[in-house]
Chain A
Amino acid sequence: MAAAETLVFHLSLVVGGELRDAAGERLGRVDDLIVRLGDEDYPPVTGVVATVAGRQVFVAAEQIVELGPGFVTLIAQQLDLQHFRRRPQEVLLKKDVLDRQLINLDGARLVRANEIELARLEGWYRVVGVDVSLRGLLRRVMPRALAGRVEPRAFLDWASVEPFTGHVPTVRLRVPHPKLAKLHPAQVADLVEAASHNEGEEIMAALASDPELEADVFEELEDSHQLEFVEDRSDPEIAELLGRMETDDAADLVLQLPEERREDVIGLLSPFQARRLRTLLGYDPATAGGLMSPEFICVYADATREEALERVERSSLPAESLSWVYGMNTHRRLRGGIALADLVRTAEGERLWNVLRPVQTVRADADLEEVARLMTDFDLTVVPVVDEEERILGIVTVDDVLELVLPEPWRRRFGLLGSD
């Protein structure tokens, strides 16, 4: 990192230091540093808040010539007195960032800023990183004279962290969406669950511009947290979110809603979505019917390999729902299935009924144990759910089962208000 070549110093040593004029005379005490959060990786210092003769004043960056541990030196002999006022996108480092939580985007976890590291970089003083180590915290408890001797060690590069700024009135929507989008939706969900409600709202707000990612994150959120972020939304907003989620996860979310809102929300979905959701909701959630996803590909058994593959190509379903293609006879009875990989490998023009294999199925009222046992015994990743006439109703994929059979303490990582 470029900052390593220049002198890196601690915020906590600048704050509390002397405000000096050009001649080196003491004018007052430095209270806080102001930086502007923007597109730059290392936010520049845009001013200093200081106490001069008992009054709190603002010193703009243009008036500062040097900044270092224990002092801020001005260009002029005179101080141009201004009152401090928050400007857009500016934060006070000590008040708003130090000791608070940040998102470490590299590890996708929350960290606490025990110290903020500054350096002169590209011609001006900038924030270059945060120290999240215990060492950084203990140094701040030590007397100033001792603390100054402790050299900064490894710290987190500022480019890979994002502060929460919901408590700063002049900064809007800071957590930038592009950085979050690099994380897996499950990682974003973990962050939301680990953060406080307001911080979680900040992350969710950053996702608002990307409804697809937002829906993916919702699918990964634990039930109680889903409710937390859905409660305040209007029925149409929830309906829109549900529309983007996979039907089985959407059904779980509907179950989280207060009973009096469920009908209203489902009523706002497209008739197609509403019908699927209602079908799923009609099943006991602890059975194959409640676990299954109504989205799968089932073609007539006399279709050709190409016709079946075309259906797969046109489909917008997630990959796990497409790992098997099913075939049915003219009475819509399930005749068998073929793994997608095997389908790709069959000879061109082959009719499906030549290659279909018999598959294990379950009834909609089979309980979770039965489904899990069947999948374990036959090494299945997908099981079709059929009715009395052997018509396929949906498929249960291994991810849905795994989620439930994992012993509870293994599943919960944050929050621990798990459903029971």
Chain B
Amino acid sequence: MELRALLPRLPRGRPRLRPRNRLAVKLIALLAFAGPGLVAANAGNDAGGIATYASVGARYGYDLLWMMVLITISLVVVQEMAARMGAVTGKGLAELIREHYGPRWSLFSTFAVLLANLGICISEFVGIGAALGLAHVPTQVSVPIAAVVVWLLVVRGSYKLAERVFVAMTIPFFAYPIAAILAHPDWGSVGRAVVEPKIHLTNAYIILFIATVGTTITPFMQLYLQSAVVERGLGPEDIPAERAEVATASVFANLVAIFIIIATGATLYVHGDHTVSSAADAAKALEPFAGRFAEALFAVGLLGASLLAAAILPVTAAYVIAETFGLEKGIARRPREAPVFVLTLTVLLLVGAAVAMIPGVPVIRLLIFVQVVNGALLPVTLFFVWRLSRNEELMGEYRNGRVFDAVAAVTVFATGALSLALVGLTLAGKA
């Protein structure tokens, strides 16, 4: 074999002893920072998320847009706490829960994360199959290939490579704004809808409202973000930069969601097509009103989002298991060095892809089940995130400030209550 092929890339050129232009350095640093926050936030716009946003737009037009503003603020608050904790403590959320709340809570959340992530993982592979299905690639071909690609990237690639690919996978998200523009919405009413709350007091509206909150703020996002911040080796000095990254990423991710609502609101809602049950449905439904190009764009966005989440979910589950049991962890470990980490990843990908390939998988029932598990887990995760990040012993000078803490408390309790309400409604068979 050619020796050069084995060699790692080495820095070329002479090292600099004198500083480069400071502005250039800062700009490069900023770009390089498109990292864990962006990955975490965008993984929330996965197959399930797109399906929910599309239904929101198809069913209620722009009437729920005002809520996206509140959800964005909540997401920023929650993700900021998780990122800050990772930077200050150097430990993942699962590890901190274990250390501060003992093995019972820790095992509960681990088990719930595993179950929920497995469920979402299946739905991502269904999403991948559906997106490529629009291009007439059979599921039995697309899903196994996607699973192998994701496995290789996560297990055999390096952390930096994996993160770069994850970030690159968010590029297809720009398809949604374009699809929204192609749908020719009435921008005036869009603007009004953002600032003016319109509440329908119907069961369906309330359930869709809660489902949107649940799909935008999901436990795996906090767990992944904190572990990724730790793995990236960020410290307290990186907090301002990471805070900026988390905030912009959350806003970006939710803008994408808003554009999905606008795209479907301007077409399906206006033309009286109020039912959308999956993201691929939404793409197909868009075609008659906004053209084949819009349909293709929608499919590309769905593919990117599903691939991204299909990679992040098993990684998060593996992080959580490794942290709970005190095992070695990390992306791109060789199987021998972190066997449980790699095993968790492999099992999740394998089961996720295999189930997604079974013809006639009851996707909707599966998603409802996932929603219940996530709904039960979210209040727990959020509560721990909030309690730990205001803990003076743990966080020292980086603990929540007073005003922030109050906002965080409101966010945590409101989101937690909504999430439990959804669990109740689902179990009662109303959803």
B359 within 8 A of A: no
Chain A 405-420 interface mask (CB, 8 Å, partner B; 1/0):
1011110111111111
Q: Which of B10-33 contact A (CB under 8 A)?
A: 10-20, 25
Interface string of A222-235 (1 = CB under 8 A from B): 00110010010000
**From A100, A137, A224, A415, contact of B103 by CB (8 A):** A137
- Given contacts A137-B325, A420-B160, A369 and B4 within 8 Å (CB-CB): yes
Q: Are A110 and B8 in contact (CB under 8 A)?
A: no
> Which A residues from 365 to 417 make CB contacts under 8 A with B?
368-369, 372-373, 404-405, 407-410, 412-417
Q: Which residues of B contact A258 (CB under 8 A)?
A: 19
Given the complex, which residues of B lie within 8 Å of A413, measured CB to CB?
Answer: 337
Is A25 part of the contact surface with B, judged by Cβ < 8 Å?
no
Chain A residues numbered 185-240 whose CB sits less than 8 Å from any CB in chain B: 194-200, 224-225, 228, 231
Is B159 among interface residues, defined by CB-CB distance under 8 A? yes
Residues in A lying within 8 Å of B, measured CB to CB: 99-101, 110-112, 114, 132, 134, 137, 140-141, 167, 194-200, 224-225, 228, 231, 254-255, 258-260, 262-263, 266, 278, 281-286, 368-369, 372-373, 404-405, 407-410, 412-420
User: Contacts of B328 on A, CB cut-off 8 Å?
Assistant: 194, 414
Max chain B Cβ within 10 angstroms of own Cβ: one of A99, A101, A112: A99
Indicate if the CB atoms of A404 and B10 lie closer than 8 Å: yes
Question: Judging by beta carbons under 8 Å apart, are B233 and A228 in contact?
Answer: yes
Contact indicator A412/B90 (Cβ below 8 Å): no
* B326:A132 contact, CB within 8 angstroms: yes
CA distance A278 to B14 in the complex (A): 11
- Please state if B99 and A417 are interface contacts (CB–CB under 8 Å): no
Q: In the complex, how many angstroms separate the beta carbon of B111 from the nearest chain A beta carbon?
A: 11
A110–B235 Cα gap in the complex (Å)? 21
Contacts of B18 in A (CB 8 A): 259, 263
- CA gap between A255 and B10 in the complex, in Å: 13
Say yes or no: B235 contacts A197, CB within 8 Å.
yes
Beyond contacts A259-B17, A407-B6: 6 other A-B pairs, Cβ-Cβ < 8 A, are: A140-B104, A404-B7, A409-B156, A409-B332, A416-B332, A418-B159
**Smallest CB–CB gap between B333 and chain A, Å?**
7
Smallest CB gap from A419: residue in B: B11
Q: Is the CB of A282 within 8 A of B19?
A: no
Pick the most buried of A111, A224, A409, A419: most chain B CB atoms within 10 A of its CB. Answer: A409
Q: Which residues of A contact B91 (CB under 8 A)?
A: 196
Nearest-Cβ distance from residue B143 to partner chain A, whole angstroms: 26
Residues of B within 8 A of A196 (CB): 89-91, 230
Please count how many residues in chain B sit with their CB below 8 Å of the partner chain's CB atoms: 50
User: Is B281 interfacial (CB 8 A cutoff)?
Assistant: no
B307-338 to A contact mask, C-beta < 8 Å, 1/0? 00000000000000000011010111110010
A-B contact pairs, 5 of them (CB 8 A): A199-B90, A262-B17, A285-B15, A368-B10, A407-B8
Closest residue of chain A to B155, judged by CB?
A: A409
B158 at interface, CB cutoff 8 A: yes
Any chain A CB within 8 A of the CB of B387? Answer: no
Tell me the bound Cα distance from A159 to B332 in angstroms: 34
Contacts of A132 in B (CB 8 A): 326
Assuming the contacts A137-B103, A141-B103, asked whether A259 and B334 have C-beta atoms less than 8 A apart, the reply is: no
Closest Cβ–Cβ distance, residue A40 to chain B (whole Å): 26
Across the two chains, which residue of chain A brings its CB closest to B87? A197
* B102 proximity list for chain A (CB < 8 A): 99, 140
Closest to A263 in B: B17
Chain A residues with CB under 8 Å of B89's CB are 196, 198
Task: Decide if A167 touches B160 in the complex (CB within 8 Å).
Answer: no
Are A134 and B325 in contact, CB atoms less than 8 angstroms apart? yes
CB interface residues, B 123-168, toward A, < 8 Å? 156, 158-161
Determine whether the beta carbon of A259 is less than 8 Å from that of B16.
yes
Closest-CB distance, B328 to chain A (whole angstroms): 7
A254 to chain B: closest CB distance in Å? Answer: 8
Most chain A CB within a 10 A radius of its CB, from B8, B90, B393: B8
Interface pair A101/B158, CB less than 8 Å apart:
no
Q: Which residue of the partner chain, among B19, B107, B331, contacts A259 with CB atoms under 8 Å?
A: B19
Task: Check B12 against A100 for contact (C-beta < 8 Å).
Answer: no
Contact A416 B10 (CB under 8 A): no
Residues of A within 8 A of B271 (CB): none
